[in-house]
């Protein structure tokens, strides 16, 4: 750590100490104004003071780590693994983290996290068509993405994760109780978001600018992922299983994966060749206390495995998305 970095950290610490002190004192004053039976115990504020100091100190330390030369080399290595600059739109569920979904630690790609992964700037017009508001924040982010990268193509990943509490709450509010907690409906909603994103890029961005949209469904229970739920076959299969209320239950997902009609990272991971690769490059991740080392081990492993793993993964992708081979 340089002297300049140390001075900045100490300056921030003093300033944050003062801000935290004023903030906690205002909370204590407000607490005294509450009815006696609703007042919080003083130990609650002792806990908050300890928590905030530890949390902010940790964030300051992480900020210094990610500008280190060692970490910047890892970011360069990670960026080389993606054919195009990639961004993710994820749920803010604490289990759905970029590092868990894609190994995307700080400055690797971009991500936006909102409840359910649903951006409210997509609206349905009077013609029933889903549209991205032209001057919305997400529209501006899409446009600015091309200014920040040297590419005429970018990738947006919309995730509909399994067991999403935000999506389930919306379904319940509408009087629906689907067996999958609203996963199928969310996949359909994200499909409309994807089409609206591509439409926006075609008509509102500069010539030759292209946005490729990918839909995924991360399962926070086991860390695996599905792709292809938005395809007509997968949707029709779910409807056939339950014409009344089609849903992507665990049973439906595993049946589709077994047929090779959707991509399951769990199925791929259990293939003998892939399993041997994983065993060869296995390591114990520790994102909390060994952030740089974990990110480095992850991306060096990806770089080492990609050529041997490519054929198996490409085969699974082309089964579900055969139209890709026609465009190559």
CATH number at residue 127: 3.40.1050
- Kindly tell me if the per-residue pLDDT of 268 is higher than 60: yes
pLDDT digits (tens, 9 = 90+) for 56-87: 888 888 999 999 999 999 999 999 999 999 99
Instruction: Check pLDDT > 60 for residue 1.
Output: no
pLDDT at 208: 79
Q: Are residues 12 and 152 in the same domain?
A: no
Question: What confidence category does residue 327 fall into, taking pLDDT thresholds of 50, 70 and 90?
Answer: low
List the structure tokens of 126. Answer: 């009077």
One domain for residues 45 and 87: no
Length of the chain: 328
At 5 the pLDDT is 52
> What is the residue whose two structure tokens read 């007509």?
232
Structure confidence at residue 59 (pLDDT): 87
**What pLDDT is recorded for position 205?**
85
Average pLDDT over residues 171-197: 96
Contacts of 218 (CB under 8 A, 6+ apart): 96, 100, 101, 159, 161, 162, 224, 225
Looking at the structure, tell me whether residues 118 and 191 fall in a common domain: yes
Domain count, the chain: 2
Q: How confident is the model at residue 126 (pLDDT cuts 50, 70, 90)?
A: confident
Q: Residue 97: name the closest of 181, 182, 220 by CA.
A: 220
Largest CA distance in the chain: 71
User: Is the entire prediction scored with pTM above 0.75?
Assistant: yes
Tell which phi-psi region holds residue 186, choosing left (phi > 0), alpha (psi between -120 and 50) or beta. alpha
Same domain, 85 and 22: no
Higher-confidence residue of 325 and 92: namely 92
Q: What is the pLDDT of residue 299?
A: 98
CA geometry: angle 86, 98, 262, nearest 5 deg: 75
| β 153-159/86-90 pair status | parallel
pLDDT confidence of residue 204: 87
Burial class (CB in 10 A: 0-12, 13-18, 19+), 22: exposed
Averaged confidence pLDDT in the chain: 92
Query: What gap in Å lies between CA 99 and CA 96, rounded to an integer?
Result: 9
Residues 19 and 73 reside in one and the same domain: no
Q: Are residues 142 and 8 in the same domain?
A: no
Whether residue 27 is predicted with pLDDT greater than 70 in this model: the reply is: yes
- 175 lies in the same domain as 271: yes
Same domain, yes or no: 115 and 12 = no
Both 46 and 120 in one domain: the answer is no
The rounded distance, in Å, linking the Cα atoms of 6 and 25 is: 28
Per-residue model confidence (pLDDT) at position 56: 86
pLDDT 10s digits, 286-318: 998 999 999 999 999 999 999 999 999 999 999
pLDDT of residue 55: 87
Domain identity same for 186 and 147? yes
Q: Are residues 21 and 107 in the same domain?
A: no
Residue 101 has pLDDT above 80, yes or no: yes
Better pLDDT: 255 or 209:
255
> 236-245, pLDDT tens digit by residue?
999 999 999 9
The number of beta carbons lying within 10 Å of the beta carbon of residue 29 is 9
Query: Whole domain around residue 149: which residue ranges?
Result: 66-327
- For residues 25 and 161, give the distance between their C-alpha atoms in angstroms, rounded to a whole number: 40
pLDDT at 7: 54
Going by pLDDT thresholds of 50, 70 and 90, the confidence category of residue 206 is confident
Alpha carbons 101 and 22: distance in angstroms, whole number: 38
Model confidence at 128, pLDDT cuts 50, 70, 90, reads: confident
Q: In the chain, helix, strand, coil percent, each to 5? A: 55, 10, 30
- 9-23, 183-197, 229-243: least confident range: 9-23
Distance of CA 216 to the CA centre of its chain: 10
CA pair distance 97, 108, nearest whole angstrom: 13
Range in 83-92, 115-124, 133-142, 203-212 with the lowest mean pLDDT:
203-212
Q: Is the pLDDT of residue 145 over 80?
A: yes
Q: Same domain for 162 and 283?
A: yes
């Amino acid at each position: 750590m340089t002297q300049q970095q140390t001075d900045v950290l100490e300056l921030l610490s003093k300033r944050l100490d003062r801000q935290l002190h004023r903030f906690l004192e205002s909370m204590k004053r407000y607490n005294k104004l509450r009815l006696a039976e609703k007042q919080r115990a003083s130990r609650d504020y002792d806990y908050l003071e300890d928590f905030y100091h530890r949390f902010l100190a940790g964030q300051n330390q992480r900020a210094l780590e990610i500008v280190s030369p060692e970490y910047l080399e890892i970011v360069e290595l990670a960026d080389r693994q993606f054919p195009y600059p990639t961004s993710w739109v994820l749920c803010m569920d604490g289990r759905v983290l970029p590092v868990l979904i894609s190994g995307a630690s700080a400055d690797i790609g971009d991500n936006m996290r909102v409840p359910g992964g649903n951006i409210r700037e997509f609206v349905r017009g009077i013609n029933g068509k889903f549209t991205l508001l032209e001057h919305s924040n997400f529209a501006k982010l899409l446009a600015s993405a091309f200014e920040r990268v040297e590419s005429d193509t970018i990738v947006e990943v919309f995730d509909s994760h399994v067991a999403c509490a935000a999506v389930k709450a919306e379904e319940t509010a509408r009087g629906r109780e689907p067996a999958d907690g609203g996963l199928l409906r969310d996949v359909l909603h994200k499909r409309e978001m994807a089409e609206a994103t591509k439409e926006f890029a075609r008509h509102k961005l500069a010539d030759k600018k292209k946005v490729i949209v990918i839909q995924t469904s991360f399962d926070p229970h086991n860390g695996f992922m599905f792709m292809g739920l938005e395809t007509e076959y997968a949707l029709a299969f779910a409807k056939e299983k339950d014409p009344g209320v089609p849903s992507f239950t665990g049973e439906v997902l595993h049946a589709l994966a077994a047929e090779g009609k959707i991509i399951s990272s769990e199925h791929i991971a259990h293939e003998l060749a892939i399993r041997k690769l994983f065993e060869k490059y296995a390591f114990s991740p520790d994102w909390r206390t060994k952030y740089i080392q974990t990110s480095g081990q992850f991306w060096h492993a990806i770089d080492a495995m990609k050529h041997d793993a490519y054929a198996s993964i490409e085969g699974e992708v082309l089964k579900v998305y055969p139209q890709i081979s026609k465009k190559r």
